[in-house]
Amino acid sequence: MVTRRKTLQLACVCVALSATPLALRVARAADSPVSTVDTLARNVERAEAIRAVKNLQYAYSQYAQFGRWADLGALFTEDGQAIYGNDEIKGRAAITQYHTSTFGGGKAGLPPGVLNSHFVDVPLVNLSADGNSAKARWYGFSMLGGGATARWDSGTFQNEYVKDDGVWKISRLHYYPQFGGLVEKGWEAYSNPLPRVPYHFKSEDESGTPIPPPVGPAPKTTATLGSLEQRIDTLNAEDQARNLQNAYGYYIDRKMWDDVIDLFTPDGVLDIGGVGTYEGPANIRRALERDGPAGLKQGQLNDHPLFDTLIEIAAGGGEARVRGLDLGMLGDFASGRAQWSVSVFVNRFVKQDGAWKIREMRVFPLAKNDYAQGWMANAGNVPPAFLSHPVTGKRPAATAAAAPSGTSEARIAEAERKLAMSMAYDGAVNITSAYTHYIDDSQWTSMGAIFAEHGNKHVPFNGYYIGPERIAHRPGAQVAPNGNAPGRGGWHWLMQPVVTVASDGRSAKMRTRLFHPAVGFNVGGGIEGGMYPNNQAVLEKGAWKLWSLTIDEPYFSAAWPNGWGRPMPVRQPPTPRPAAAPAAAVPTIPGSVIYPPNVAQGLLGKRMEGFVGGTGDAIRWPGILNMWFHYKNPVSGRVPEYYWPNCGVCEYAPYLSMEKYGYLLPPS
């Protein structure tokens, strides 16, 4: 409920925005061309291409994890190219041999006790206009070697992919190493300043358009409408299964055991390698409580970022196989304990009563070590199987399904709507990744330009800024153009998305984890954790744009040599500025005006309770901040303790709600 005092404080902003007419709520323009089976087939193929590119990269990490060098090499075209810093390798056979020699000691697999864990995420993928090639940008974070040779390595991938004989493959992988070092010393920048990795996209709108409009008429297809509907159902099922896996990860982080149990079927199984197998809700609960009772206590850290998750939907659409990597950041401040762990999960999901649930969850711990000590891989916990190879493997044959009722025109329209929802999933992830890459490169003008006309951004410790012009600034300072100086102090990974999409595919809400390694220059770096609990995106003029962005941080902060087991120096925030109206006339000379926030953070009451710049006493690590969710439990509908389904500032500035501008609200 907004008080009269708050309403008066915000009134000036409402007037400024109310001059813009509201958009009509329409899924498509009335004069849009009617789709045919041929155009639907082309659209499905282009949407599947984005997923194929991502799966190639996820498979690359998973094959590297266990030294499957032949499988890794088979992801490339015959004349593919791999560049790792100064090493340049050409040809599929040479790429296989390079990995075998460099990481495998000349053999398949890995030497005893060694890790080769490549955590790759934050995808920004763009398909070519003809649909036959693609480019993508990723962040990489690696744990390599073992014992005295254990080391970190991290950097940026800028890769290219092609459709070769109907199958997507990697044509060029270019890795730019940027920081790393031996474990006991922490990670350091490889150069000072760091060079900025070039972008493969030419504009902010392109970064928000993973699938560009096709050129020319659609070719004649041999696909039937029924087969296309099944392929779209598979894309939708992948989204739902990924959301289930990622939601599970967030519940584990906070020891929300009731919500974890809700995600399993009544006959569900949790199998932990080296520990035991637990069947049924009561026994699974017992397994979870090996890590303590529900809820995080003062100074407990139980973060499990999930990376490189592959989803494979079985024939018939009733089951899914899920495989990925888990990087554990574990600790207890009271005892000074801080640990890293690495696990692989291989899961089986089933669809029951319209909802995806966990039938089997199998966790294979690979390594666990103290924060600043070298790791030693556990050779005994190797998952028994991989999913289908993205290049050489065959997808499961589709089973016959009952033909949907209705005319062909109605079925095609419904298929296009469902396809738009999966395309929205990828669009929302793309524009989130663009935000990450732009802020890490100090590209402030470009960062502002990926927000919608009425978009809003939260600046931690300060407040909310509205509109691209006011968003394009350094926190609490002046408008700033794109930076020219290279060098970065940290990587803001936004990953592990839980994305809910509106039924017309034109808007989405998303929860993403902030995985934030900070780079050291001649000194060991550090790491910080946070959450973007309810970012929102909309399709505006053909490109995905951010509508709302809220940052909750830091949940913890750590630095070498003690990690999160010891206190960090207190981070002093800038002095919060009062809420204010936009300037009547914004000067055009960069840096000539200082913008205060439109809505000060302190106005959000309980929503910002405990956060620096918010209400109440600031809670710093090892204190436990509130964890907010925009969605209910995806299986049981359980409402989380801290539930905020609206945009971060919408309850205090209702004029910023998407529905005010003609967008359907995604489900909560």
Mean pLDDT value of segment 542-568:
90
Question: For residue 582, what pLDDT is reported?
Answer: 42
CA distance 493 to 516: 6
CA distance to 140, 259, 439, per residue, from 442 (Å): 19, 39, 5
Does the structure show a pLDDT above 80 at 584? no
Q: 349-371 pLDDT, tens per residue? A: 999 999 999 999 999 999 999 98
Number of domains in the chain: 1
Residue 444 lies in a domain: yes
Other C-beta atoms closer than 10 Å to the C-beta of 335 total 9
Tell me: the pLDDT tens digits for 623-641?
999 999 999 999 999 999 9
- Tell me the C-alpha distance between 374 and 148, whole Å: 6
- Which position has the token pair 């560049």? 83
pLDDT at 566: 78
Decide if 616 is inside a domain. yes
Distances (CA, A) of 367 to 3, 260, 440, 482, 564: 53, 24, 30, 41, 19
* Residue 472, in any domain of the structure: yes
In a domain, 622, yes or no: yes
Flag whether 611 is in a domain: yes
Q: What angle do CA 310, 198, 177 make, to 5 degrees?
A: 65
Q: ∠ at Cα 57 (89, 90), nearest 5°?
A: 10
Say how far apart CA 477 and CA 456 lie, in whole Å.
Answer: 17
In a domain, 619, yes or no: yes
Distance (Å, rounded) from C-alpha 72 to C-alpha 66? 10
CATH number of the domain bearing residue 628: 3.10.450.50
The answer to the question of residue 643 being in a domain is: yes
Distance CA(2)–CA(284), nearest Å, equals 43
* Claim: this prediction has a pTM higher than 0.75: yes
Confidence of residue 595 (pLDDT cuts 50, 70, 90): confident
DSSP state, residue 216? S
* 187 assigned to some structural domain: no
Residue 597's domain comprises 4-31+424-661
Q: Do 329 and 337 touch, CB atoms closer than 8 A?
A: no
C-alpha angle 420-235-213 in degrees, rounded to nearest 5: 40
Least confident of 271-275, 319-323, 653-657: 653-657
Phi, psi of 491 (to 5 degrees): -110, 125
3-state secondary structure at position 230:
helix
- What rounded mean pLDDT belongs to the chain? 88
pLDDT tens figures, 170-207: 999 999 999 999 998 889 999 888 888 999 999 999 99
